[in-house]
């Protein structure tokens, strides 16, 4: 009994030894690009300052939660119109791009997170926005019935939050391996389909030629005398 070797079960494209070199090459290329990005990219530090919204005078305490949500949405706008950019030493565009405010659905607290290439600048930006919120709420406390109070100042970050070079290389290598695997899976299917189409055309050619009848040969019969 003749058995088919396992290699014959693979597509023709995958049996080619050179095609498998695509996968390690893609992994190495992805790791090199990811590592280079991690080395060249400037590290980013994050600092977070916290403020809390409290009712002023005899206002409803439940209103503080609603105003906390509102202040969280316009925190960067208030900081830009105020003196936050002066206190932080950055432009208004930098504040809008690198400062984010988050609120809690259960407590009238707002966290203000700033990102910068230096830890001290990140602290200055976060505290500057928090201070702008405090001053703005003081000016409009008579109409809103609430005011913003500094809850916790930002602390100087000790480590960057941006990915390191080894982590970037690992992510790049995984992405390169995934792309290389997709190339190996897609290209042999195309090659196999082309080979099958070529084989079907070659097989159809003799069949079509055999189907054409040959011209009849006229036989000469002697005339009766």
Q: What percent of the chain has pLDDT over 90?
A: 24
* DSSP assigned state of 13: T
pLDDT in tens, 2-37: 555 555 454 554 455 556 666 666 666 666 666 565
Q: CA of 196: how far to CAs of 6, 9, 19, 133, in Å?
A: 20, 15, 20, 71
pLDDT in tens, 41-74: 667 899 999 999 998 877 777 888 888 999 999 9
* DSSP assigned state of 157: -
Residue 112 CB contacts under 8 Å (≥ 6 apart), including other chains: 48, 49, 50, 51, 75, 99, 100, 101, 126, 129, 130, 133, 154
Distance CA 130, CA 47 (A): 12
User: Please, are residues 99 and 72 in contact by the beta-carbon 8 Å criterion?
Assistant: no
pLDDT score at 27: 66
Place of tokens 């403020």: 51
Tallying the residues shown for the chain, one arrives at 225
């Amino acid at each position: 009994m003749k058995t088919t070797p396992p290699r014959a079960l693979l597509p023709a494209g995958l049996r080619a030894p050179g095609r498998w070199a695509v996968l390690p090459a893609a992994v190495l290329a992805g790791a090199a690009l990811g590592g280079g990005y991690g080395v060249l990219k400037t590290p980013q530090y994050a600092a977070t300052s916290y403020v809390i919204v409290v009712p002023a005078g005899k206002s409803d305490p439940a209103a503080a939660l609603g105003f906390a949500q509102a202040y969280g949405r316009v925190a960067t706008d208030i900081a830009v119109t105020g003196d936050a950019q002066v206190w932080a030493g950055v432009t208004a565009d930098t504040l809008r791009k690198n400062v984010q405010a988050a609120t809690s659905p259960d407590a009238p607290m707002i966290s203000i997170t700033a990102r910068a290439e230096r830890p001290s600048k990140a602290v200055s930006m976060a505290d500057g926005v928090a201070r702008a919120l405090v001053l703005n709420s003081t000016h409009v406390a008579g109409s809103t019935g609430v005011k913003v109070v500094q809850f916790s100042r930002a602390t100087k970050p000790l480590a960057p939050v941006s990915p390191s070079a080894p982590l970037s290389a690992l992510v790049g290598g995984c992405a390169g391996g995934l792309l290389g695997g997709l190339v190996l899976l897609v290209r042999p299917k195309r090659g196999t389909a082309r080979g099958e189409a070529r084989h079907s055309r070659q097989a159809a050619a003799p069949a079509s030629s055999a189907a054409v009848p040959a011209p009849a040969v006229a036989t000469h019969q002697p005339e009766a005398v």
